[in-house]
Every structure is written in C-alpha cells, then in structure tokens.
Chains A and B, each alone.
Chain A
C-alpha cells in the first residue's frame, strides 16, 4: 500500500525529513515503526522500544496495533507540549 508519512518537532529535525511517501508491505502501525527502525542510526534510536513517541493515522492518535488503511496519512511525533 501507499502511505504518506509525516514527522514533527524533534523527530522531524533528527530524521532530517518532514514528509515522505512509502510503498509499504506491512499491516499495522507497529509494522511501519519496525520498518523505519531498520534504517538504523537516529531512526533505530528514536523509535526504539521504550522511547516515547506517538503515531496518528489520518490525524487521530492510535495504538501501535492499529491497522493502516491504504493511502493513509501517518504522522509520527514526540509527546505533545502545547498549552
């Protein structure tokens, strides 16, 4: 499936990318995170088990076992700090 993946705040800066389009063969948000971890370096570090980050599918925060719909807009970002 095709996915549009967005990164925000500290993760956008560390990854050096704000947005990318991926051709993705997995099923869940956890599968996507696992794929990104295989890039190594800052990807493996920031997305390691136990690190705090959030995943949103089509602009709703979800748990990692959530299924990804085709052509979804996925966002990965640090815990929010507004207000």
Chain B
C-alpha cells in the first residue's frame, strides 16, 4: 500500500508499473486520475490551490484504503493526492488498485474515490475572473459515497 500527499506531479504509468513489478499474482489493475479543469460552475478557472490538514489527511486516506481492503480482496493500492497550486490540465489525484480479477479492482477504485471526496480533508480554492472562491461541497458527492453504505 502506498499513500502520498505531495505538491509534486505523479507518473501514473510508473506507479502502475511499480505495483506489478516482480510479481505474477496480479490479474487486474484499475486506475483513476482526477485532473484540474479550466471551467467550474460557469466561471473560467485560471488555477486552483489545494489546502489540506497535515496529519489527518494521511490518516483519513489510510482509513479509507483500509476499509476498501476489508470489503474486497486487494493485492495492492496506491493513492497519491497533490496539494498546493495547480493549473488546468494538471493531475490532482490518482488511485490504482490491484487484484486478481477486474471486478474487485474496478469497485474498490471507485469506492476509494467516492470516499476520498467526502472524507479526506482537502479544500480547493479557485482563481476565477471574478476573484478567488472556495469550492463548495456537492450534494452529488455525498450521494456517491452513500451508495457504498452498508445496510
């Protein structure tokens, strides 16, 4: 398992390659990359700055990866989330999940992203033509995370 919070960019190909290097038991790796867009809520976005809660962020990411490992049989997980100032097109976050078969990798990757969006203490501030603004949480993100709630 690898969890990183860093200002630097990441290389998805290198990270996925590192997961399967030297092992032959992995049959599937599903990955997701989130990118900074140049448009949000009707305004152009020139840049965004990601703030986080050092200490809690790593703990929250480890907890949600732990929850994924409890729900599915996973062989490896990598989560990297960037902080600091990012430009449109820059990668923000990546999740890669390795398992024996694709079903578990797909499901766990989506679960980790849905929980990350509502549980991990990151906040985005956008630079728009109207000035700086903090991004508001979306009800659709809460709904996406709620899909995974156990009865």
Contacts and interface: CB of A to CB of B under 8 A. Distances in A.
Interface of A: 6, 8-10, 52, 56, 59-61, 75, 77-83
B50 A82 contact: yes
Interface stretch (B6-14, B22-30, B96-104, B114-122): B114-122
Nearest to B5: A82
22 contacts: A6-B53, A9-B125, A9-B134, A10-B123, A52-B137, A56-B53, A59-B55, A59-B60, A75-B121, A80-B119, A80-B120, A80-B123, A81-B123, A81-B136, A82-B52, A82-B92, A83-B81, A83-B92, A83-B113, A83-B117, A83-B120, A83-B122
Interface of B: 34, 50-53, 55-56, 59-60, 81, 92-93, 113, 116-125, 134-137
A83 B116 contact: yes
A80 to B, nearest CB: 5
Nearest to B63: A60
B123 A77 contact: yes
Contact of A83 (B56, B60, B93, B136): B93
Contacts of A60: 56, 59
Contacts of B123: 8-10, 77-78, 80-82
A79 B145 CA distance: 14
